């Protein structure tokens, strides 16, 4: 689960990291109220993706009028596919210098890595490429956490010895997000040293492990209801699906991430573009298939659906029956090609054919067939698609 | 032995393992010690099971909140091959488990979130269906479950039997790596060919390619899924700082080609390249 | 710091361990009030030492009158040198079985050891001697704490598998006293399983590390003011001395624990008995010497004082000057023999002689001399002794 | 090197160590890296000091809240002899430190709460005063600070010089044990005689006696202080359960006698028994 900036800052503040005062605004009027409370503010788009600054999603407001205008411009703006639902108005900082500090999981090392650099700010990736030695690194032992002497070494290695005390404290608190929140990534960039010498989080990014949600129900309750940009991903999440929106026109369902990804590859090879990635996992129960199909069909760009299932334990005839049922329930009119393999594949194919669904002999043929059919397809009338939920999607703000 | 033998998954797959002839000597289920399940004696703890039966390998079929402890329990009890099928273990738990296992260097962990391993016609630990397999000279190692089954089926259908099929699992933090498994295949006389099925993310495929590039007696084909998957919608820079340009399908395929390993662009191509 | 039972229970309860309801009573009337609130109660002497049950310090009260009588008998009673200042009236438990659980530092293993036995109760030491295998043991890794599987094994090893869940939870919470409170020993004996099946702490012992007091100021504030039995030890603690009361007549001051203990040994060898152990440590500043002498002289049993100092870094002449000053300030009349060795010992001895203090040539001679002098000594009038503080020593009860 | 070299204690004893000829090559004091103190270069961290100077032994003179971290820092930086003088370190901290040191098997810790060690006329780390010592063939190992000085003085006064004097410290959880130090003396050609000064509590003396009982080339005298100390006013049974009858002066003296080691009843007897 990726938290928005203001949520990440709430969490970091609860861990003892200094943050500037700020106010969430869903309307320009609320942004003006924020200005009146805080004085000069940065008005910042709240989206769970980087690069909003370069996209015009952050504006400085020195007057109430500027705050209103900034909020007007930013709320509703599209940043990398996310429609901005609200802004965060934060007291502007007098910046003396910008530091980078963060941690993430280093897959190769099978460990967490702490990163610290005196060259913080928006160009940190460039710094990493051009002068990797300017980023100090530490792999804390996962049972012990970072030791004091390791933090001291990290801070001196980054050339930030004169800030050893505040930095060690901030890094120690930031690290608490690992044992206490199952954080996978947490980042403060920039960590601002103000002209007054305070060290304070200018921005914050935080991602927690959804596999550990059962350990952090409070976090899930507080922030899990908050809805991200893409409406199909939001709907898929509600239905418990592993779903990622893409920008093509072929809907994809597969069982297993690897098989699903290789299906995407085949569609592209056949000249088409996938509209999504949707892994229904092992077992492939009828209900899950129906949910997956429903979400895919909500997207008006979709012109055909390819389902690729290899039945290891799953029986092909049962998958076929479930699929036919789902198609009928959803009154699906779009072309549907199914590649069904493994246990009882013959019986499954027979059921599909009897119900007018095209079985592919193998995955590559199935991919070619759906691309062909989708290309011929004329747009379906909107009435034939399941609707998105009627209520408007709104962000909840924990007050 | 099987940890969580009395559960639904544990029961079902224990029977499958027994059907293939796997010698399941013990199971655990705290509170049920002293009973018998599927003809197998049940113990309260792995240490008790090892003491009584000498079990040296374990398949773990317990839910995510208990699986990390089950892995560590197995290692501490002296189990040398630990296969964890459980999907959905929190990553930070696995990082702690990996560090714990450093204290038990003779314990090998396969997974978590993996289908396990099978030597066709001989034995298996995990959930790979026997019927997609056939005995023969091809070693198969894979990060993906269903792709493994698909490629296994294709090999069997073409008369290319398998020495052993190993699913290392799809989680970011794993036990055995491609490299570890390939080293074992190199030492396995029954294996002359090798199929490596990777996917985007991490650098395990690159490290495997590097190993194979140093010289190998195995005729190898690699396949990477996710060539057209878009870069994840990343937030933050920490990931980019540490991984740089590694982890893409392109970098992985290139690494294998530079190591002199044939790369299949679709799974259909694997059989042809392997012959 | 050793906590009294009711204090230890307060702490364990805050760690999530079930305890019976109870009330502290400093008077028989308060014990009656406790009975009226709780019904049948155990009236228990609060002393920081074991064996109170066998000494008659625990009585069951089924009526208000019995509660009053029990409190009358117990308050003020002497248990192993501790005058009982108050009782704890605790709701009586219907005991089905008694378990032993505890941890302590195993010096030889340089580790903490957890102990669990199905044979709890007052005879646990006998159990340990006669059937050590009936006590299950676990050395938890100090960074990781006990693992779930280790606790499961411990519980089954102790033959308590049917209580695996409540016991694992209680042991896990008990263990928290190590990382969170710097506990050195914590013990629940008996851990009672009631007839209703509850698992609840029947007694509790807790000792925390005084070296870690700086990390637990709250604990020190809450319980540190509570005064233990021996008035000289209490006074010594207030003055920051390392002092233990013994039952002989020769006061002992030494620098370093080893030297101090070997001084005790020499006094015994010479036919005397030490009145105390008092280690003034390295450096031996005049103020510390004066404090040590003051506390020793408060004890009317003391008939002479032996000071044994080896000056490594400390200069003998300075020790001698400090001692003369202290003796004069305290108007000390009792025999005083000093063995002074190491740096500037000659100068030091000269100062002592000039001031009428007997220097011993070596420790053995000094011990013989003080025993000889003390045996000849007639009792000193009380006026020549420093007084104990005038205010009555009272126990503070955190309410 | 000296950790905490710029502090009052660190400064004073560094000068003493230098006066004896000890080659102090570095010191640490975070924030003072790059400066010089007592002619010694100061670094921010031990790793920096080791990198720049190759220091391989360290004396630690920092207050209790920082000493455990200082010990672990030294071990992690590759220091092989760590001498911690600091008194008053919480026991649980030392238990964690001891576990940490398992990861650095080549690091030896002496202390904490110990006076350190001295090879008369050659070098010292710690606070044992040089003037009580004299060069010679007697190894001296002790748990007590002032008793060490007393016995060292007595030996020197009798013309019995010392090869090395080692104070292992008085805390319940220590680094090097009597046993460890005796093994080193056995291998030290300059040592032909040995004095062991123990005290009540723990079983380190018993373990040392057991080692000496297996055969030793050293003529040894043992002394135990606390023969008449009363049993502590114990509360709780945990201590009694694990220690049984060990730990008393009687059990320790008996252990040494059974091992064929002469036991002195007073410190005055030591010199006579050693000759």
Q: How far apart are the first and last CA of chain C?
A: 20
Give the pLDDT confidence score for residue B151 in this predicted structure. Answer: 94
Concerning whether A187 is annotated as a catalytic residue, the answer is yes
Q: Which of C144, C156, C162 sits opposite B45 (nearest CB)?
A: C156
CA distance B134 to C204: 64
Give the pLDDT confidence score for residue A387 in this predicted structure. Answer: 53
Say if the Cβ atoms of C107 and D202 lie within 8 Å: yes
Q: How do residues D115-169 score in pLDDT, each as one tens digit?
A: 999 999 999 999 999 989 999 999 999 998 889 999 999 999 999 999 999 999 9
Give the pLDDT confidence score for residue B240 in this predicted structure. Answer: 66
Residues D252 and D160 in one domain: yes
Residues D23 and D158 in one domain: no
Give the pLDDT confidence score for residue D245 in this predicted structure. Answer: 62
| Burial grade of C122 (CB within 10 A; 0-12, 13-18, 19 or more) | middle
Residues D100 and D131 in one domain: no
Task: Answer yes or no: are the C-beta atoms of B146 and B260 closer than 8 Å.
Answer: no
Q: Is C164's Cβ below 8 Å from some Cβ in B?
A: yes
Q: Report which of residues C376 and B39 the model is more confident about.
A: B39
CA distance A218 to A225: 11
Give the pLDDT confidence score for residue C53 in this predicted structure. Answer: 87
Q: What is the DSSP letter of C159?
A: T
Q: Report which of residues A310 and A206 the model is more confident about.
A: A206
Give the pLDDT confidence score for residue A50 in this predicted structure. Answer: 79
Give the pLDDT confidence score for residue C358 in this predicted structure. Answer: 79
Question: Which H helix or E strand runs over C236?
Answer: helix C231-238
Question: Which H helix or E strand runs over B122?
Answer: none
Strands D162-167 and D135-142 come out as parallel
Give the chain B residue nearest A309 (alpha carbons). Answer: B146
Six-digit token string for D257:
């006698």
Indicate if the pLDDT at residue C389 is higher than 80: no
Domains and CATH numbers, chain C: 21-91 (3.30.1490.20), 95-223 (3.30.470.20), 231-384 (3.40.50.261)
Residues B149 and B94 in one domain: no
Q: Is C274's Cβ below 8 Å from some Cβ in D?
A: yes
- The mean pLDDT value for C96-111 works out to 95
Q: How do residues B143-186 score in pLDDT, each as one tens digit?
A: 988 899 999 999 999 999 999 999 999 888 999 999 999 999 99
Say if the Cβ atoms of B234 and A49 lie within 8 Å: yes
Give the pLDDT confidence score for residue B41 in this predicted structure. Answer: 98
| Domain end (from B73, B95, B111) | B111
Residues D79 and D171 in one domain: no
- Report the DSSP beta bridge partners of residue C22: C90
Nearest by Cα to A244 from A279, A208, A215: A279
Task: Answer yes or no: are the C-beta atoms of B46 and B73 closer than 8 Å.
Answer: yes
- Best probe of the C interface among A143, A146, A147, A179, by most C CBs < 10 A, is A143
Q: What CATH number is given to the structural domain containing D8?
A: 3.40.50.720
Q: What is the ipTM of this complex?
A: 0.92
Task: Answer yes or no: are the C-beta atoms of C11 and C173 closer than 8 Å.
Answer: no
Q: pLDDT band at A228, cuts 50/70/90?
A: low
Q: How do residues C190-235 score in pLDDT, each as one tens digit?
A: 999 999 999 999 999 999 998 999 999 998 888 876 555 678 888 8
Return the residue matching tokens 């098989």: A259
Six-digit token string for C113:
């050891």
- Which residues, 6 or more positions from C376, have their beta carbon under 8 angstroms from its beta carbon? none
Q: How do residues B223-269 score in pLDDT, each as one tens digit?
A: 999 888 766 555 566 666 666 666 788 999 999 999 999 999 999 89
CA distance C288 to C239: 9
- Best probe of the C interface among D146, D232, D251, by most C CBs < 10 A, is D146
- Which residues, 6 or more positions from C239, have their beta carbon under 8 angstroms from its beta carbon? C291, C294, C295
Q: pLDDT band at A383, cuts 50/70/90?
A: very low
Residues B124 and B251 in one domain: yes
Nearest by Cα to A191 from A88, A106, A103, A117: A117
Say if the Cβ atoms of B240 and A128 lie within 8 Å: yes
Six-digit token string for C390:
């005038």
Question: Which H helix or E strand runs over C357?
Answer: none
Cβ-based contacts of A340 with chain B (< 8 Å)? none
- Which residues, 6 or more positions from A206, have their beta carbon under 8 angstroms from its beta carbon? A2, A3, A7, A8, A11, A12, A177, A181, A183, A185, A186, A187
Q: Which of A149, A161, A162 sits opposite D73 (nearest CB)?
A: A149
Q: Is C126's Cβ below 8 Å from some Cβ in B?
A: no
Cis before A190 (ω within 30): yes
Indicate if the pLDDT at residue D236 is higher than 70: no
| Domain encompassing residue B66 | 2-111
pTM: 0.91
Distance from CA of B74 to the nearest CA of A (A): 19
- The mean pLDDT value for A209-216 works out to 93
Cβ-based contacts of B30 with chain C (< 8 Å)? 152, 156, 161, 164
CA distance A316 to A342: 7
Indicate if the pLDDT at residue B90 is higher than 50: yes
Task: Answer yes or no: are the C-beta atoms of B61 and B15 closer than 8 Å.
Answer: no
Q: What CATH number is given to the structural domain containing D125?
A: 3.40.50.261
Give the pLDDT confidence score for residue A396 in this predicted structure. Answer: 36
Residues B148 and B92 in one domain: no
Give the pLDDT confidence score for residue C383 in this predicted structure. Answer: 45
Number of domains in chain D: 2
Residues D121 and D90 in one domain: no
Strands B40-43 and B27-28 come out as parallel
Give the pLDDT confidence score for residue C226 in this predicted structure. Answer: 55
Give the pLDDT confidence score for residue A398 in this predicted structure. Answer: 36
CA distance B42 to B10: 12
Q: What is the DSSP letter of C324?
A: H
- The mean pLDDT value for A274-278 works out to 91
Indicate if the pLDDT at residue A43 is higher than 50: yes
CA distance C386 to C298: 6
Q: How do residues D13-35 score in pLDDT, each as one tens digit?
A: 999 999 999 999 999 999 999 99
Give the pLDDT confidence score for residue A270 in this predicted structure. Answer: 94
Give the pLDDT confidence score for residue C111 in this predicted structure. Answer: 96
Q: Is C143's Cβ below 8 Å from some Cβ in B?
A: no
Its sign, for the CA torsion C225, C228, C231, C237, is negative
Give the pLDDT confidence score for residue D80 in this predicted structure. Answer: 98
Q: pLDDT band at A342, cuts 50/70/90?
A: confident
- The mean pLDDT value for A183-212 works out to 95
Indicate if the pLDDT at residue C380 is higher than 70: no
CA distance B123 to B126: 10
Give the pLDDT confidence score for residue C399 in this predicted structure. Answer: 35
Distance from CA of D225 to the nearest CA of C (A): 5
Six-digit token string for B32:
């049920």
| pLDDT-above-70 percentage for chain C | 91
Indicate if the pLDDT at residue C361 is higher than 90: no
Q: pLDDT band at A399, cuts 50/70/90?
A: very low
Give the pLDDT confidence score for residue B18 in this predicted structure. Answer: 97
| Domain end (from B79, B111, B143) | B111
Nearest by Cα to D193 from D217, D226, D168, D158: D217
Cβ-based contacts of B93 with chain A (< 8 Å)? 212
Its sign, for the CA torsion C254, C260, C266, C269, is positive
If you count residue pairs, one on B and one on C, with CB atoms under 8 Å apart, how many are there?
Answer: 33
Return the residue matching tokens 């009975």: C35
Residues D36 and D156 in one domain: no
Give the pLDDT confidence score for residue D235 in this predicted structure. Answer: 54
Distance from CA of C140 to the nearest CA of A (A): 13
Task: Answer yes or no: are the C-beta atoms of D127 and D13 closer than 8 Å.
Answer: yes
Residues D128 and D249 in one domain: yes
Indicate if the pLDDT at residue A258 is higher than 90: no
Give the pLDDT confidence score for residue C392 in this predicted structure. Answer: 38
Residues D128 and D262 in one domain: yes
Q: Report which of residues D273 and C285 the model is more confident about.
A: D273
Question: Which H helix or E strand runs over C94?
Answer: none
Give the pLDDT confidence score for residue A390 in this predicted structure. Answer: 41
Residues B85 and B173 in one domain: no
| Domain end (from D65, D96, D111) | D111
Return the residue matching tokens 């990553």: B91
Indicate if the pLDDT at residue D275 is higher than 50: yes
Q: pLDDT band at D55, cuts 50/70/90?
A: very high
Give the pLDDT confidence score for residue C319 in this predicted structure. Answer: 84
Task: Answer yes or no: are the C-beta atoms of B199 and B171 closer than 8 Å.
Answer: no
Give the pLDDT confidence score for residue C394 in this predicted structure. Answer: 36
Nearest by Cα to B127 from B177, B45, B63, B60: B60
Sheet order of strands, D116-119 included: D123-126, D116-119, D162-167, D135-142, D193-199, D219-225, D262-264
Q: Report which of residues C92 and C234 the model is more confident about.
A: C92
Indicate if the pLDDT at residue B116 is higher than 80: yes
Q: How do residues B183-200 score in pLDDT, each as one tens digit?
A: 999 999 999 999 999 998
Return the residue matching tokens 């113990």: B43
Give the pLDDT confidence score for residue A88 in this predicted structure. Answer: 97
CA distance A191 to C99: 54
Catalytic residue among A187, A228, A233, A290: A187
């Amino acid at each position: 689960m990726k938290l928005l900036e203001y949520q990440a800052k709430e969490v970091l503040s609860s861990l003892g990291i200094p943050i500037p005062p700020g106010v969430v605004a869903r309307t320009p009027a609320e942004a003006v109220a924020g200005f009146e409370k805080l004085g000069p503010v940065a008005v910042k788009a709240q989206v769970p993706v980087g690069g909003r600054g370069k996209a015009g999603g952050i504006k400085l407001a020195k007057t109430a009028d500027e705050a209103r205008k900034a909020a007007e411009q930013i709320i509703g703006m599209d940043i990398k596919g996310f429609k901005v639902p609200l802004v965060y108005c934060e007291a502007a900082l007098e910046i003396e210098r910008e530091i980078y500090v963060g941690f993430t999981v280093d897959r190769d090392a099978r460990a967490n890595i702490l990163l610290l650099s005196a060259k913080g700010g928006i160009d940190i990736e460039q710094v990493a490429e051009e002068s990797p030695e300017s980023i100090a690194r530490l792999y804390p032992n996962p049972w012990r956490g970072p030791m004091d002497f390791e933090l001291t070494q990290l801070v001196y290695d980054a050339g930030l010895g004169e800030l050893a005390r505040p930095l060690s404290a901030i890094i120690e608190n930031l690290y608490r997000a690992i044992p206490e929140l199952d954080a996978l990534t947490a980042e403060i960039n920039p960590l601002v040293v103000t002209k007054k010498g305070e060290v304070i989080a200018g921005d914050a990014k935080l991602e927690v492990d959804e596999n550990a949600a059962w350990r952090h129900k409070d976090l899930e309750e507080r922030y899990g209801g908050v809805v991200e940009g893409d409406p199909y991903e939001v709907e898929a999440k509600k239905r418990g699906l592993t779903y990622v929106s893409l920008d093509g026109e072929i809907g994809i369902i597969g069982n297993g991430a690897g098989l699903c990804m290789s299906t995407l590859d085949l569609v592209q090879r056949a000249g088409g573009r996938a509209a999504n990635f949707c892994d229904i996992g092992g077992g492939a129960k009828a209900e899950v298939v129906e949910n997956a199909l429903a979400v895919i069909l909500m997207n008006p760009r979709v012109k055909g659906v390819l389902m690729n299932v290899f039945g290891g334990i799953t029986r092909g005839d049962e998958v076929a029956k479930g699929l036919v049922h789902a198609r009928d329930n959803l009154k699906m009119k779009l072309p549907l090609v199914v590649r069904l393999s493994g246990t009882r594949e013959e019986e499954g194919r027979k059921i599909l054919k009897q119900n007018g669904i095209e079985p592919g002999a193998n995955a590559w043929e199935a991919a070619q067939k759906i691309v062909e059919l989708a290309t011929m397809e004329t747009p379906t009338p909107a009435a034939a698609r399941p609707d998105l939920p009627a209520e408007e999607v709104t962000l909840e703000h924990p007050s | 032995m099987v940890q969580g033998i009395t559960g639904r998954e544990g029961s079902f797959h224990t029977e499958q393992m027994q059907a293939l002839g796997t010698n399941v000597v013990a199971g655990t289920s705290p509170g049920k010690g002293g009973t018998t399940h599927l003809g197998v004696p049940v113990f309260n703890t792995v240490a008790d099971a090892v003491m009584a039966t000498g079990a040296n390998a374990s398949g773990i079929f317990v839910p995510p909140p208990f699986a990390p402890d089950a892995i560590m329990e197995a290692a501490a009890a002296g189990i040398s091959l630990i296969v964890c099928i459980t999907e959905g273990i929190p990553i930070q738990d696995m990082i702690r488990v990996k560090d714990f296992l450093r204290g038990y260097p003779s314990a090998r962990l396969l997974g978590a979130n993996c289908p396990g391993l099978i030597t066709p016609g001989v034995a298996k630990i995990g959930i790979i269906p026997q019927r997609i397999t056939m005995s023969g000279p091809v070693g198969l190692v894979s990060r993906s479950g269903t792709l493994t089954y698909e490629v296994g089926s294709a090999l069997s259908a073409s008369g290319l039997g398998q020495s052993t099929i190993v699913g290392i699992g799809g989680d970011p933090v794993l036990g055995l790596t491609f490299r570890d498994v390939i080293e074992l295949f190199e030492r396995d006389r029954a294996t002359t060919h090798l199929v490596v099925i990777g996917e985007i993310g991490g650098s395990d495929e690159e490290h495997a390619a590097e190993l194979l590039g140093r010289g190998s007696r195995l005729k190898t084909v690699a396949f990477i899924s996710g060539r057209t998957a878009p870069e994840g919608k990343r937030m933050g820079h920490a990931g980019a700082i540490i991984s740089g340009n590694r982890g893409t399908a392109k970098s992985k395929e290139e690494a294998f080609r530079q190591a002199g390993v044939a790369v299949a662009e679709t799974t259909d191509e694997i059989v042809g390249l392997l012959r």
